[in-house]
Chains A and B, each alone.
Chain A
Amino acid sequence: MKLNINGLLWFLVLGLYTFLIGDLMRTGDISLYLHPKMLIYVYFAFVTLVLLTLYQSTRIFKPSSSAKFKSGILIFMLPLLLAFTVRPEGVSIQMAENKGVYVVGESSKKIDLSQTIGTSPYKDENAPYYVANFQNVLLDMYFNPKAYEGKTVQVMGFIYEAPEYVAGEFMISRLLISCCTADAQVAGFKCNWDALETLDKEKWYLIEGKVRLVTTYNPLLSMDETTAVIDVVSALEVEEPENPYIYP
């Protein structure tokens, strides 16, 4: 029996990919890379890779038609090396910024109000409303800002300052993952606070503030737009949640 080097290497590469994906699924760290809806495809990939690895294991000692080293296998090694050595902890805000910012309180195309999600969540007019479902309230406030006028809300997220913001303006935001982390975007509520400088940009905060409506003219749509801004009154430093992303 003669060892087939290409066969062995390809076996190792397939085996390590199988291990990597299996390990990420076991620990749940796969959610650092993908939207949960993609998990079913990852399961499929895992099963297929197991089959391919098993198949390849029978070919390690099969004589090869050419002894030439297949350099393509080296290409497959690069992501494995990075995955096992770098062990990233997730997408950073800087990366997401390169993708696009989705924000309540920025000009965007007018959307039919009949598309709004649910009605205003308030029961008690004066109690502050804690935004538990970041995504839904964000969309609701975007489509239906009037329902929130004058209300006090509490939102948790990280501080994001767009380059064009003036002093005191910021966004309390999360990262929005549509499919994989490569498409992460910053999504958040536009806020205003004089004491913004006292906050640490790397940390997470629970902010409380009152919703105010502003109407601005959007030249591209040649019409006025009403958007919501939160006038912040307090900010409390909090732990970053287990899964920092939101998924549409």
Chain B
Amino acid sequence: MSEKNNRSSAEKMLMWAIIFLFLAIIFFNILRLPNMGFFDTFRTKYLDAFTVMLLSILFEAMPFVLIGAFVSSLIQLFVSETFIARIIPQNRFLGLLAASLMGIIFPVCECAIVPIMRRLTKKGVPLHISLTFMLAVPIANPVVLLSTYYAFSGQLEIVFLRGFFGILGAITIGHFAGRMAGGVSPLKDTKYVGDLRPVAPVTQLSLQMPSKFQKIKTNINQIIGHTAGEFYDVGKFLIIGATLSAAMQTFVPREAILSIGSGGIASIIVMMSMAFVLSLCSEADAFIARTFLGQFTTGSIVGFLIYGPMIDIKNTMMLSGVMHGKFLVKFIALITGVCFILALLVNLVGL
């Protein structure tokens, strides 16, 4: 008993030390006090580059993670399991197709989709449908396809290839991943930890509330509390992912990846690796893909454009907070395999 107390008090001391240091450093800098050149010693070209990269990925993704967290809490509060069970088509293929086309009415990119996918699955949406939904929406939506059209200066075939193979890939992967899970949910149980989440379940609360005003107040509280909890859950993995991606981009020169080659198969490997490492938003990635037109095969460009929104470093980290590791590894392997085959197909047909 006393040992346990000792340990927890040591832990507490360490924690306070960290907090104190953290605050001291930040307030030092907020107040623009002279820092005697202490931090400048660490300032190098690499640290600058790394920081810009990390923060820009973060600032770009954060609003979308917040949107995702917000939508997820709306689903949690206002969409019932029975409603979901009623609207999902009984036919497996129809269900998959409908899920893959959801992006048309629900255009969000890949940062926002992870918390939404998790919430939908928890609400009873079959796994193959929620996974297809997660993979297809960041590709087959008007915002992304328009930016692709713009980036490729109106080359409609690239837009078409991206949309078509994105949907085809998402359906294929969703179907097989659903089979792979075999009825057992691969999602982690999220126990609402600490005080980041509302304590009482929604149903209980809504039963108890007599006045309309109080009900609205509780609802708002629930939504905010839920959004905060979701932001914490997904945000920490987003930061790890952004850190890894920024580090790779700062320290691994592009030539290292490009040196794999530009042949039919090598180019696909190169472009898919680039998509994974760069962790770009699906709204922006077409502008990067464009720079490779003429240097790499069309199939590899399509591979880049469909693989990146489905999975990359940032999303792998976010999913690792949601799915069990073993399933996640198989799932990523499946995504990689299917996207590779589709890209190869484009090259073989010679588009």
Instruction: Please determine whether chains A and B interact with each other in the same assembly.
Output: yes
Interface residues on A, range: 35 or more
Q: B196 near A: Cβ within 8 Å?
A: yes
| A window 54-85: CB within 8 A of B | 55-56, 59, 62, 64-67, 69-70, 72, 74-85
Q: Does B55 contact A (CB under 8 A)?
A: yes
Q: Flag if B278 contacts A83 (CB, 8 Å).
A: no
List of A residues within 8 angstroms of B63 by Cβ: 38, 41-42, 44-45, 48
- Residue from the list B195, B285, B294 in contact with A220, Cβ < 8 A: B294
B153 at the interface (CB under 8 A from A): yes
Is chain A's interface secondary structure helix, strand, loop, or mixed overall? helix
Cα A109 to Cα B296 with chains together (Å): 10
Give per-residue flags for B72-83: 1 if the beta carbon is below 8 A from chain A beta carbons, else 0: 000000000000
Q: Which residue of B lies closest to A62 (CB)?
A: B195
In the complex, the answer to whether B48 meets A88 with C-beta atoms within 8 Å is yes
Contact B224 A185 (CB under 8 A): no
Within 8 A of A (CB), among B223-263: 224-225, 227-228, 231-232, 235-236, 239-240, 242-243, 245-246, 249-250, 253-255
Residues of chain B contacted by A97 (CB below 8 angstroms): 254
B52: contacting residue among A33, A45, A49, CB under 8 A: A33
Main secondary structure of the interface of B (DSSP, over half): helix
| Chain B: number of interface residues, binned into ranges | 35 or more
Q: Please, which residue of chain B has its CB at the minimum distance from the CB of A102? A: B291
Contact of B59 among A34, A163, A178 (CB under 8 A): A34
With A76-B239, A79-B55, A108-B293: A115-B246 Cβ-Cβ less than 8 Å:
no
**Contacting residues, chain B, for A66 (C-beta < 8 A):** 193-194
A75 x B54 contact (CB < 8 A): no
Q: Is the CB of B30 within 8 A of A19?
A: yes
- Cβ-neighbour of A248 out of B193, B283, B287 (below 8 A): B287
Question: Are the C-beta atoms of B224 and A52 separated by less than 8 Å?
Answer: yes
- Compute how far the CA of A188 lies from the CA of B288 in the bound complex, rounded to whole angstroms: 15
Given contacts A7-B195, A97-B254, contact A185 B66 (CB under 8 A): no
Task: Tell me, in angstroms, the Cα distance from A155 to B49 when the chains sit together.
Answer: 27
Q: Mark A169-191, 1 if CB is under 8 A from B, else 0.
A: 00000001011111101000000
A246 within 8 Å of B by Cβ?
no
Contacts of A213 in B (CB 8 A): none
CB of B266 closer than 8 Å to a CB of A: no
CB distance from A80 to the nearest CB of B (A): 6
B151 to chain A, nearest CB (A): 8
Of residues 133 through 167 on chain A, the ones whose CB sits less than 8 Å from some CB of chain B are 139, 143, 163
A-B pairs, top 8 by smallest CB distance, nearest first, are: A179-B284, A100-B291, A178-B287, A41-B63, A180-B60, A45-B63, A181-B56, A33-B56
Known: A82-B54, A248-B151. 7 other contacts (CB 8 A): A32-B52, A76-B235, A82-B51, A85-B25, A94-B45, A99-B288, A182-B246
25 A-B residue pairs with CB within 8 Å: A10-B196, A12-B23, A33-B56, A33-B60, A34-B59, A38-B60, A44-B63, A75-B240, A76-B235, A77-B22, A79-B242, A80-B26, A85-B39, A87-B29, A88-B55, A89-B48, A91-B56, A92-B48, A92-B49, A95-B250, A99-B254, A101-B291, A109-B293, A112-B154, A182-B280
